[in-house]
A and B are shown apart, each in its own frame.
Chain A
Amino acid sequence: MHVMDKVVFEIEDNAALTADVMRMRLRGDASAVKRAGQFVNIAIDGLYLRRPISVCDFTADSLTIIYKVVGEGTSRMAAMRRGERLDILTGLGNGFDAEHDCRRPLLVGGGVGIPPLYRLAKDLVARGRQVTVILGFNRAEEVFYADEFRATGAEVIVTTADGSYGRKGLVTDEVRDREGGFDYFYACGPVPMLRALCEATPADGEMSFEERMGCGFGACMGCSCKTASGSKRICKDGPVLRRAEVIWE
């Protein structure tokens, strides 16, 4: 039993990366965050349920999250300022397995599924892996964090659906072209992208999924999904599932 205390974080900064994607940096005890791909659950005044957001990067006493403004919760987050305090549950979910035995991992991210891959790229490079990252967006104005990914030491390819930045096309076009050039993949993005990825390559890998959550820590069974190894809770047994477990519905 490890007892996690209530943690209050203070906002260091909260700035727009694109028209509707924001980055919030927070200071507070993040020691419960252990792996890339875990998430935090943020209490927002006036809203009943917390908002689960993936962790982009962390240290023992800081957190970086990147979120897209899509609804009431994220709109309120977008209006928050430096110095405001937030009640956050941290260290939730399983996260990616950066220890997986591979030499040339491929990281594939789509849109707001990209942030958790940032810390993963850093961890994999630090482990001496030859890392390739493919980031997919619709158009140039939506692109964020390409330079930050490049700074990790990974090879970075950006695709846009309309060709206004990087390679024109989908991440899966790039994946097909690189078949044989990677021996494992890590992915996060919309389900149609994840599914297309699995159709594009026979390689093994792991993917992070999203679902509407009640609690975020495994108690309410609100986010269950069927997998080849039985029912799993996206919040507690996920959000990362191994390819062989995934059942596409």
Chain B
Amino acid sequence: MDRYSAVRRLYGNRDMAESTKYDLSTHLCGVRLDNPIIPASGTFGFGGEYDDFYDINILGSVSLKGTTLHARFGNPTPRIAECRSGMLNAVGLQNPGIDAVIAEELPRLRSRFRKPIMANISGFSVEEYTECCRRMDSQEQVAFIELNISCPNVHNGGMAFGTSPEAAAEVTRAARRVTTKPLIVKLSPNVTDIVSIARACEDEGADGLTLINTLLGMRIDIRRRRPVLANTTGGFSGAAVFPVALRMVYQVAGACRIPVVGCGGVESAEDVVEMMMAGASAVEVGSANLHNPYACRDIIENLPKVMERLGIERLEGIIGAAHRG
């Protein structure tokens, strides 16, 4: 078996899938995706770890690990704490830095992944976000830039840009100036008025919005009487956050014209349909990948069955269905 046979097999499969009754394709910022499923940033590395489990070419796209200008080790361990129906993480943007991502990770992923790639950018200053966007803009293999202004696990950066409309506007405006690629801003749920922040990003030229990043949370080890996480607090994700994410997608999709990527607690094909009905054009799957590395594959396989049950032939047709009277 040569190295491309898997890809040929995949294209064969895709042609077959397209000839069936159920159309899973969608569009995000004008880019066609074979299906709406995108592994969320931070749960999929740069793609390589999932090669052991399935051919990642079945995915709609992949959102890469959050990348900063310089390499970061991240926070001390423990970085992970389990919760009921979810988990906390305080990884703290561990990544090899944008130069290594561009020189090593992107070519490695491109050599075996033929779908649109979403680069995820983070930073600690407007200048850092801008520089990272500028460098990603010149990468032909990057289809989307996802601007992470919502990481709760780093200090003096990350989420600080996503918690006020003014700061969100400033960083979006700066990023917009240096890239012509679709710019998708990933927003924090840890705010009082998500719509005002979403509108601020839209007004400054964002092409899309991802909702939501993790909710700030905490656990205490009652035997040690200390926080479980070395960072004290962490980002809460997993099945439990789905209703919060769905509500924010619904609110923002109803208030903005740019497309929304739904993210938060998605674990099943039914969740994907629900997110799309709330207004999501595509759907990111995050923590589910960590407890079930086959989660995205399972969801993609189950979508046609769920569509059949619900009488949906074209998935894209249900985007925002819950808004229509």
A231: Cβ under 8 A from any B Cβ: yes
Please tell me if the beta carbons of A224 and B85 are within 8 angstroms of each other in the complex.
no
Majority secondary structure, B binding face:
loop
Within 8 A of B (CB), among A1-55: 1-4, 6, 43, 47-50
Q: A214-B290, A223-B77, A223-B79 are in contact. Are A1 and B94 (CB under 8 A)?
A: no
Name which residue of chain B comes closest to A44, CB basis: B291
Please tell me if the beta carbons of B77 and A217 are within 8 angstroms of each other in the complex.
no
Which residues from B are CB-within-8-Å of A221?
A: 42, 45, 65, 74, 79, 91, 94
The size class of the interface chain B forms with chain A is 35 or more
Please tell me if the beta carbons of A1 and B6 are within 8 angstroms of each other in the complex.
yes
A222: Cβ under 8 A from any B Cβ: yes
A89: Cβ under 8 A from any B Cβ: yes
Name which residue of chain B comes closest to A6, CB basis: B294
CB distance from B186 to the nearest CB of A (A): 17
CB distance from A28 to the nearest CB of B (A): 16
Please tell me if the beta carbons of B83 and A219 are within 8 angstroms of each other in the complex.
no
Q: A3-B54, A6-B294 are in contact. Are A222 and B43 (CB under 8 A)?
A: no
Bound CA span A236–B52, Å: 12
Q: Among A218, A222, A231, which residue has its beta carbon within 8 angstroms of that of B80?
A: A222
Within 8 A of B (CB), among A220-237: 220-226, 231, 236
Name which residue of chain B comes closest to A47, CB basis: B82
A141: Cβ under 8 A from any B Cβ: no
Bound CA span A231–B100, Å: 14
Please tell me if the beta carbons of B84 and A215 are within 8 angstroms of each other in the complex.
no
Name which residue of chain B comes closest to A1, CB basis: B51
B157: Cβ under 8 A from any A Cβ: no
Q: Among B81, B85, B239, which residue has its beta carbon within 8 angstroms of that of A212?
A: B81
Please tell me if the beta carbons of B94 and A49 are within 8 angstroms of each other in the complex.
no
Which residues from A are CB-within-8-Å of B94?
A: 221, 224, 231
B73: Cβ under 8 A from any A Cβ: yes
Which residues from B are CB-within-8-Å of A50?
A: 291
Q: A48-B83, A213-B80 are in contact. Are A4 and B42 (CB under 8 A)?
A: no
Please tell me if the beta carbons of A48 and B291 are within 8 angstroms of each other in the complex.
yes
Which residues from A are CB-within-8-Å of B82?
A: 47-49
Bound CA span A215–B54, Å: 16
Bound CA span A225–B293, Å: 23
Which residues from B are CB-within-8-Å of A43?
A: 291-292
Please tell me if the beta carbons of B79 and A215 are within 8 angstroms of each other in the complex.
no
Bound CA span A6–B45, Å: 21
Bound CA span A236–B287, Å: 18
Which residues from A are CB-within-8-Å of B49?
A: 215, 217-219, 236
Q: Among A89, A211, A222, which residue has its beta carbon within 8 angstroms of that of B89?
A: A222
B289: Cβ under 8 A from any A Cβ: yes
Digitize B33-77: 1 where CB-to-A-CB distance is under 8 Å, 0 elsewhere.
000000000111100011111110000000001000000011001
Q: Among A2, A3, A49, which residue has its beta carbon within 8 angstroms of that of B290?
A: A49
B320: Cβ under 8 A from any A Cβ: no
Which residues from A are CB-within-8-Å of B279?
A: none
Please tell me if the beta carbons of B89 and A220 are within 8 angstroms of each other in the complex.
yes
B86: Cβ under 8 A from any A Cβ: yes
What are the 5 closest A-B residue pairs judged by CB atoms, nearest first? A222-B80, A215-B290, A212-B78, A219-B49, A218-B49
Would you mind naming 12 contact pairs between A and B with Cβ atoms under 8 Å apart?
A4-B52, A43-B292, A48-B83, A48-B84, A48-B239, A212-B79, A214-B290, A215-B49, A215-B289, A220-B91, A220-B290, A224-B73
Q: Which positions in A face B, CB cutoff 8 Å?
A: 1-4, 6, 43, 47-50, 89, 211-215, 217-226, 231, 236
4 new A-B contacts, CB < 8 A, other than A1-B51, A219-B49, A226-B73, are A215-B43, A219-B45, A224-B73, A224-B79
